Structure 1
Amino acid sequence: MTLLSSDTKGVFAISVTPFDDQGAIDFDSLDRATDFYLEKGSTGITVLGMMGEAPKMVQSEAVTIAERVIKRANGAPIVVGVSAPGLAAVAELSKKAMDLGAAGVMIAPPGNLKTNEQIIAYYGNACEAAGAGVPVVLQDFPHTTGVNISTDTLNTILAQNEQIVMLKHEDWPGLEKVTAVREAEKGGRRPISILCGNGALFLPEAMARGANGAMTGFAYIEMLRDVVAYAEKGDIDRAQDIYDAYLPLVCYEQQPGLGLAVRKYVLQKRGVIASEAMRKPGKGLTAAAKAEVDRIIARQEKRLKELG
């Protein structure tokens, strides 16, 4: 079992959770999605993230999904989202995930945290709940959680909790935070891995600032793989050219409340999942929106051929 570390880099696809039209988990599609992510170049997979509709599941379903993907991935590192309002749920799912062979767990802050002191205390307690030595990914996604973690607070949390080995960076605007975290390392704070979410928005810029890769569910893993690879080689111009071909779809996904519907529609079009269905509350795209996505993808494919 490969555990996450501060040296982890590459692409971790945030997996969708496929459902049938009645809202039951479609495990055949989940298997295909796992294979798809890895075949297209994902270093690992993250399950039960916010885009995996984790809040819509009971604990037993979450455990079953984690087990299924870990077994299917055949040794590739799997991160399990264990975010929950209460620490007891974090502790229970963390233990089960790690016993199943997860590479680490991801924890976002609950929305009731209002002060820096509360945020710092929470992550100390959350790391304890996850279990000694369990690698933790800190998900910094204020636009969804409502919790704004300042750079100073973040650096304090990282200094106090060595098992936090990775930052899932989703603050927006947040490029200055990437720079500040790296500057703190130059000042003596231990290094961590930084993987970027937010649907890959600003990925080339974040890589140039010192990020180590991407952790997001954008349906074209090929883009994430290639942008990260070229950026790591120092060829930011080539990374940007590839990224720009996909940028209209990246931007379209940023519409509030629409991103997951777009993602599932694209994955269904690509033959990965059988249905674009989401669990209620949640609905798919209208016919007009699907036509817009189809047009964006057609232009994307044309541009990629031009780029070679």
Structure 2
Amino acid sequence: MTNSPDNNKKGFIPVMLTPFTDSGAVDFDALASLTEFYLEAGAAGLFANCLSSEMFELEEDERIQIINQVVKVTNGAVPVVATGTFGGPIEEQADFVKEVYDTGVQAVIAITGLLAGSNEPNAIFNNRVEQLLQLTDSVPLGFYECPVPYKRLLGAEQLKQFVASGRVIYHKDTCLDIEQVKAKIAATQNYPAFGLYDAYLVHAVESLKAGSAGLSCIQGNYFPELIVWLCNNYNNQALVEQVQLVQQFLTDNMDVMHNVYPTVSKYYLQQRGVNISTFTRRDVGPFTSQNKQEVELLFHNYERLQQQIGLTSVL
């Protein structure tokens, strides 16, 4: 995750899915295969135990087991980050942060919406973060502006305050506002150990050009090699038209990829030949025949896009 914001080399950090068996148990064999799939696609790191992983539907021991599996399969090839705060007294959150760090991750991610309530001011949030930093020794931390339980966004100067501590090295941004993204990048540009990763691909190219460290998005659970390609080629003057095609494709298909997610992405991966059940513990609504048709059309359109830009799938 350590990537200088003004470095032209960008990274893609997949927000990992959790494969389950059809009966609902964590499928650790499928998780190992899925981890290898991300790595073969060229991922620069992995974000385990996140919202896409259905982290709120996992038991605490399952969270640790999943992170352990990802770290084991990755075997140091790329850094791994994982969520370590799930509400409650800050002392308990700090204890779990340290337990997650002991698995071998590079940084432990704090959910912004679980460090202060939606009706609590920034002063309380900031104080809780300071407490968390004090209670977790030298553990490197990151922030995730997770939409659940509510989306708490950080301001540019607020983020800089924590990055300046030397302890915060990662931020997954979900503000959906390119001007806010640019402000956060500008405020933290003098801290090379820190990286901001944008989740919103409608402005993916603009975000990369502005200096984000890379992308961390659900689209990587459909075609991770495409997001890697974009991170590698967003500023390639010989591929301007192809980059525009990719950006438009991602924008045009945003709704399809978000609807009944993550069930929809697991079905898409099945079409690609990935061994994964569509079972999800998270209640995202029914996966209808119309959803299937939309995914199948997305699969067809992606194959056509690959031909247009000369990209080969990992499967």
**CA separation of 1:23/1:286 partners in 2, compared to 1, >3 Å: closer, same or farther?**
same
Aligned match of 1:65:
66
Gaps of 5+ in 2: 311-315
* 1:169-203 per-position Cα deviation (integer Å, ceiling 9, x unaligned): 1112x2112211233246xx6353111124x3321
Find the aligned partners of 1:103 and 1:243 in 2 and give their Cα distance: 30
Q: Give runs of aligned pairs for residues 1-308 of structure 1, distance below 5 A.
A: 4-5=1-2, 7=4, 9-75=10-76, 76-86=78-88, 87-109=90-112, 110=114, 112-113=117-118, 114-129=120-135, 131-141=136-146, 145-159=150-164, 161-172=165-176, 174-185=177-188, 190-191=191-192, 192-198=194-200, 200-218=201-219, 219-231=222-234, 237=240, 238-255=242-259, 258-283=260-285, 285-308=287-310
Q: 1:269 to 1:83 in 2, by over 3 A?
A: farther
- Note if contact 1:6-1:166 (Cα within 8 Å) is conserved in structure 2: no
Q: Which moved more, 1:112-121 or 1:145-154?
A: 145-154
CA RMSD of aligned residues (A): 2.4
Q: Partners in 2 of 1:43 and 1:132 — Cα distance?
A: 27
Kindly provide the amino acid, as one letter, of the partner of residue 92 in structure 1. Answer: D
Indicate conservation of the 8 Å contact 2:155/2:184, yes or no. no
Of residues 274-283 and 146-155 in structure 1, the stretch that sits farther from structure 2 once superposed is: 146-155
Indicate how the Cα distance of structure 1 residues 143 and 53 shifts in structure 2: closer, same or farther if over 3 A, else same. closer
- Aligned with 2:212: secondary structure? coil
Unaligned runs of 5+ in 1: none
Query: Which whole-Å deviations, capped at 9, do the CAs of 1:134-163 have from their partners, x for residues lacking one?
Result: 22111124576232333333333334x320
Conserved? CA contact 1:242–1:304, under 8 Å: no
Which string of whole-angstrom CA distances, capped at 9 and with x for unpartnered residues, describes residues 211-231 of structure 1? 111122322111110111112
Describe the SS at the equivalent of 1:13. coil
Deviates more, 1:149-158 or 1:291-300: 149-158
Quick check: 69-78 or 267-276, which moved more? 267-276
Q: CA deviation at 1:271?
A: 2.5
Change in Cα spacing, 1:15 to 1:262, as seen in structure 2 (3 Å) is same
Q: Counterparts of 1:42 and 1:247 in 2: how far apart (Å)?
A: 21
| Identical counterparts, % of pairs | 23
Letter in 2 for 1:250: M
- Which residue type is aligned with residue 5 of structure 1? T
Instruction: Give the aligned residue type for 1:305.
Output: Q
Query: Structure 2 length as normaliser, TM-score?
Result: 0.85
SS of the aligned residue for 1:80 comes to strand
2:125 and 2:58 mapped to 1: Cα distance? 26
Instruction: Rate the CA distance shift 1:236–1:107 in 2: closer, same or farther, 3 A.
Output: farther
Which amino acid letter does the alignment assign opposite residue 286 of structure 1? T
CA distance in 2 between partners of 1:79 and 1:201 (Å): 24
Match in the other structure for 2:313 = none
- The CA distance in 2 between the partners of 1:121 and 1:64, in whole Å, is 31
Deviation at 1:17, TM superposition (A): 0.5
- 2:185–2:196 Cα contact (<8 Å) kept: no
Tell me, yes or no, if the aligned pair for 1:108 and 1:145 is still in contact at 8 Å: no
